Amino acid sequence: MESPPSPAEPSPAAAIASSAAAPAPEDAAPTGPPLDEPGFPPFAMFPIGSDWNELVNSVAPSRMVQFSTSFFEQVAVQGMGMLPSRAEPQGQVGLAYATRLGVLKAELVSVGVVQTSLENLSPLPFTSVNLQLAFMKQGLAMGAIQSVLMTPVGLLMGCANLAGQMSGELFTGFAPAEGHQVLLGAHVWGLPGCYGGCKSIVEWQRAVTTADGDVEKLGSITLACTRPHAAFTGVPSVSISAVEKVNANDSLVAGFERAPSGKHTLSVGGSRQLEAGDACNMKLKGLFTSEGVLGLALELSGAKSSATLSVEARQSAAPKFGACVQLAP
């Protein structure tokens, strides 16, 4: 299905890792970053398709620890450690300081990168800008800028980095009837003078409310299509997912995807609240695909911390186990 959502802002460290040159014809010069992939995550700042992506993320086994704490009202410490199954351990730790201009961050990444950023800078009341710079011992390694402009027709977002990757995005919506909402998004990417591709997405939501105005049930259907430029791959991928929140805690999901390779995958699953309380909440999540892959996750959450235990079983392969712990002392 749709790739899991990435962080809301583009990461220069991630851009460094993904900037390997794509295969090019023999008579063509190297182009740098791959042109058949967006350099920035599409629709990362918007909640479109978030319920489906959240379930897919939670049942995928991962070994990760995240923590955050605040020493003072304006100063916070954040960190992350990850142990991939087929790669070296990765981690990062940093400080965040809230100022009048925005949030200043400085993070040390395990690959030897120091990443600095200024987030939520608002030079005008209807704009928001994020600036990021990444340094290695040799000097400046990568930089990125992301700007969001609020217009009468919706939100416009533009992104660019020092590798030459650029993208533009439009996100809007309207309410055709009471209790119904339609969200629309379009994302275009490329390099200077070279078109890379586009992604479009539409989501329809229907909410059932109580007499007091509280949302009792919420259903959504999301359709997305990604099409790289025909000069690179030209093979589009299409996915459709449906989520039905039967109450505030439980949901049912179903999805279908046609990958660029031509493979079709059908997925069904859902989540169920097993225990709810002030001290601990327990939720079970599951997803089964037509490829014979079953993913299960048990989520335990408290007032400030949470842990997710996950397992993935597939035909003719050993099961995979994962755990994700989030701490906020």
* 6 inside domain: no
> Number of folded domains in the chain?
1
Q: Name 23's Cβ contacts closer than 8 Å, sequence gap at least 6.
A: none
pLDDT tens sequence for the chain (329 residues): 444 333 334 454 444 334 333 343 444 444 457 777 888 989 887 777 788 888 998 999 989 999 999 878 889 999 999 988 777 888 999 999 999 889 999 999 988 899 999 999 998 889 999 999 999 988 999 999 999 999 999 999 999 999 999 999 999 999 998 889 999 999 999 998 888 999 999 999 998 877 776 777 889 999 999 998 866 666 789 999 999 988 878 899 999 999 888 899 999 999 999 888 777 889 999 999 999 999 999 999 888 889 999 999 988 788 999 999 999 87
3-state SS assignment for residue 12: helix
Establish if 4 belongs to a structural domain.
no
Would you say residue 68 lies in a domain?
Answer: yes
Domain assignment present for residue 2? The answer is: no
Q: Is residue 165 part of a domain?
A: yes
Query: What's residue 257's pLDDT?
Result: 95
CA distance 64 to 87: 13
- Computed on alpha carbons and rounded to an integer, the radius of gyration of the chain in Å comes to 21
| β-bridge pairing 90-98 and 166-174 | unpaired
Q: Model pTM?
A: 0.81
Dig out the tokens for 122 from the structure: 């608002």
Domain that holds residue 37: 12-327
For residue 265, is it within any domain? yes
In a domain, 305, yes or no: yes
Bridge partners, residue 191, by sequence:
194
Residue 1 in domain: no
pLDDT of residue 233: 65
Residue 56, SS3 per DSSP:
helix
Question: Tell me, what's the pLDDT at 24?
Answer: 39
How far is it, in rounded angstroms, from Cα 82 to Cα 65?
7
Specify the pLDDT at position 315: 82
Q: What is the CATH number of the domain that holds 184?
A: 2.40.160.10
